[in-house]
Amino acid sequence: MIIKKYTQVVSILIIVAAIYYSFYSLTPSKSYKATNETAFSTENALVHLKKITKKPHFTGSPEHKVVRDYLVNEFEKIGLQVEIQEQVAVNKKWRAATNNRNILARIKGSENGKALLLLSHYDSNPHSSLGASDAGSGVVVILESIRAFLAKNKQPKNDIIICISDAEELGLLGANAFVNHHPWAKEIGLVLNFEARGSGGPSYMLLETNGGNKNLIEAFQNAETPFPVGNSLMYSIYKMLPNDTDLTVFREDANIDGFNFAFIGDHFDYHTEQDSFERIDLKSLNHQASYLITLLDYFADSNLNNLKATTDYVFFNFPYFGLIFYPFSWVLPIIIFCTALFLILFFVGFFKKKLTVIGILKGFIPFVLSLIISGILAFYGWKLLLKIHPKYNDILHGFTYNGYYYIAVFVAFTLAICFWFYKGFFKKRSVQDLLIAPLFLWILINGAIAFYLPGASFFILPVVILLTILSILIFSNSKENTIVLFTLFAIPVLIVFVPLVKMFPVGLGLKMLVISTVFTVLLFGFLVPVFQQYSSSKKLANIFLLVGAMALISASINASYSDERKEPNSIIYVFDTNLNEAYWASYNSKIDDFTQQFLGDNPTTGSYDSNTTASKYKTKIKLHKKTAVLEIAKPSISVVSDTVINLNREIKLQIASNRNANKVELLSKSPIKFKQFSINGENLKKKDVNNTFVFEVEKGTVLSYFITSENELINLEFVVDMDQKFDIDILESKFDLFSNSQIKIQPRTESMIPMPFVLNDATVIKTNLKF
């Protein structure tokens, strides 16, 4: 009994150590110090980051030019000749356009192969984000890496192009301008893009390729980056999601492959004024640097002409090994082999009387019940928490400030559920009988993965280890304690899979807590051969129940807003020129001390109009109140020409802001099919020459144009069918709510921030145009 307790303690310590290491090994633990001029210096990078993130610097803002001038000066200081590419660009998918100003530089290589492009963007998100992580971190890592690289006085074989793009936050417009208009784009063989979707956490490697990833993965592994983090499941999911980066434009418009590097931890800071120098995690910055320091040296001298491939690899990271990978073609044979081995062991187990029908069938009961109950708890539990804390709905991306506590809550409760359901079965059933249920489900999952999501095929790792354990249980007649042995077998799976429990709700919002609970139950099932040998499952269930309760209490204590956890709110002033009416409007579901001064105590629920700007997350205006009309200069809108030629209606429309507004939106109230569409001379292209229309709009946004120069004109030209009618709202917005002399405002408190992802702190002039 004493030996069993001793080995149980050792087992628990191994599991805890493996879980800790699974997170610890993902990022550098120390900063980079400049031991000489040729070494990357985190301190140097931070000096730049502090200077370029003092104020919001969205495209078209005064600070945007300040940041651009600073970066140009710093690149010139290290000996580069800098070019500013000024170009109007349009993104058809996001219906956005602006006049971009990309910062470009080039290091000449000794050979004539394809060039390496280093990419990040210097604009912050409109209108309040400071952009320290997204993507100031990427910009300064590139700047400091290039400084250190040039200090070596060694000419690379390949040209190295630096593109610090503009207007990424508006719809990847700087990348669009570069790819479709700059001659250097045709010479690029590979892109390294640096991004962020939060202010902390490990930096994940994601690929962009139109073909297979084989050559990219092999090249990445050969470069020997010290902290590679990425797997083909993330790669597969990323390809299915609508999220894009600048690198997407290179892949879609020019068939250029590349690597994205982005950290997503502390997602609550994303696109807010809290994305600041003070809040960025230095480990995340250093992780970005660890990639570029290594990859810059490697790809500067590698052949970039042959990175295209037709073969895809399954891959995942593992400490000291880097990426472990194998071809998709192995996926089906491996699952067939494992299934066959499972069946052989299954029948041999019965032959050797190591397995029993009743034991196996009853082994499914606690496992299936754990899956169902924990899944229901997470799904409805989060919905209940949204009812208890309705303010969470105003955090639009879905990851709250106390989100890490909620992950701990549901993981702990899930483990308590598992131990509770298994406590009687552990005593009455053999470990091999109980092992069949989770092994069967892991095999079933891998079978589905083989056909529908092959990028997740590294999920075969738990199957292989469980088959090994089952073989030992069936063929060994020893009665010796196997807790420590089976725990050691579990280490690779814990290191690979435990971070996924945290990753999904952090990156995609707490609505993904169900995925965390499913992963937790699957990992618990994997550890059944270990847990079955523990002396008291009931005690462990109670311990995890207590841990979950404490985490829930902590989450509740930290549910309120504070100076460190700021409350997002929104307000806009809208003047409808056609109705000669004005409104205060908010995307918040409830008033607070700030919005109350505009909306009063009893605002009208819903929007002042059905045709309004929606947020990135489809959030609509929720509160409004009629107010006085202010004296605001209206935009000049004129239909320059409207003619019918060859059954086509050709229209020229000009819009001029008379108050130097920031943004002009066109929102259609009815479907429109555009045969041609041009803005300030930039034509939208058809996907295919056989397509009749450039794009179609059912209802909503036709175009968002961001103004970047004083007295800038917006000239639109489009061709439609001759019988096409137009009913368009034109919204001209200026982020001047706090600077408008006609509006007296009590500023936000220190515990408040402007809500991101929506039109905010703006005066809006709405004009309906029918023609």
H, E, C per residue of 154-192: CCCCCCEEEEEECCCCCCCHHHHHHHHHCHHHHHEEEEE
pLDDT bracket for residue 94 (50, 70, 90):
confident
Q: Is 362 left (phi over 0), alpha (psi -120 to 50) or beta?
A: alpha
Q: What is the mean pLDDT of residues 429-458?
A: 96
* pLDDT tens sequence across 480-498: 789 999 999 999 999 999 9
Q: Extract the tokens encoding 509.
A: 């919002």
Three-state DSSP class for residue 68? helix
Position with higher pLDDT, 408 vs 424: 408
Confidence check: pLDDT of 617 > 90: no
* pLDDT tens sequence across 706-744: 999 999 999 999 999 999 999 999 999 999 999 999 999
* pLDDT tens sequence across 358-398: 999 999 999 999 999 999 999 999 999 999 999 999 999 99
pLDDT at position 56, please? 96
Q: What is the mean pLDDT of residues 503-509?
A: 93
Confidence check: pLDDT of 2 > 60: no
Confidence check: pLDDT of 600 > 60: yes
pLDDT at position 537, please? 86
* pLDDT tens sequence across 192-230: 999 999 999 999 999 999 999 999 999 999 999 999 999
Confidence check: pLDDT of 264 > 60: yes
pLDDT at position 412, please? 98
As a whole number, the mean pLDDT across the chain is 94
Report the percentage of the chain scoring pLDDT > 70: 99
pLDDT bracket for residue 479 (50, 70, 90):
low
Q: Is 433 left (phi over 0), alpha (psi -120 to 50) or beta?
A: alpha
pLDDT at position 312, please? 94
pLDDT at position 22, please? 96
Confidence check: pLDDT of 583 > 90: yes
pLDDT at position 308, please? 94
Domains of the chain: which residue ranges? Answer: 2-23+333-557, 36-318, 565-771
**Cα 50 from Cα 64, distance rounded (Å):** 15
**Cα 651 from Cα 669, distance rounded (Å):** 18
Confidence check: pLDDT of 39 > 70: yes
Torsion of CA 508, 511, 515, 520, to 10 degrees: 110
Cα–Cα separations (whole angstroms), residue 677 to 122, 226, 248, 701: 28, 48, 22, 14
pLDDT at position 1, please? 52
Q: Extract the tokens encoding 40.
A: 């990357």
Confidence check: pLDDT of 536 > 60: yes
CB 720, CB 646: distance < 8 Å: no
* pLDDT tens sequence across 288-307: 999 999 999 999 999 999 89
**Cα 84 from Cα 122, distance rounded (Å):** 13
Please, which residues have CB within 8 angstroms of residue 21's CB and are 6 or more apart in sequence? Answer: 319, 495
pLDDT bracket for residue 615 (50, 70, 90):
confident
Q: What are phi and psi of 602, to 5 degrees?
A: -135, 65
pLDDT at position 4, please? 63
Of 620, 615, 625, 619, nearest to 595 (Cα)?
A: 625
Confidence check: pLDDT of 277 > 80: yes
CB 443, CB 338: distance < 8 Å: yes
* pLDDT tens sequence across 99-110: 999 999 999 999
22-36, 73-87, 342-356, 487-501, range with the lowest pLDDT:
22-36
Cα–Cα separations (whole angstroms), residue 19 to 13, 320, 490: 10, 16, 11
Q: State which amino acid sits at residue 141.
A: V
pLDDT bracket for residue 267 (50, 70, 90):
very high
Query: Which option is the CATH number for 36-318: 3.40.630.10, 3.40.50.12500, 3.30.413.10, 3.10.450.40?
Result: 3.40.630.10
pLDDT at position 12, please? 94
Q: State which amino acid sits at residue 441.
A: L
* pLDDT tens sequence across 638-694: 999 999 998 999 999 999 999 999 999 999 999 999 999 999 999 988 777 777 888
Helices (H) and strands (E) in the chain, counts: 19, 26
Position with higher pLDDT, 476 vs 174: 174
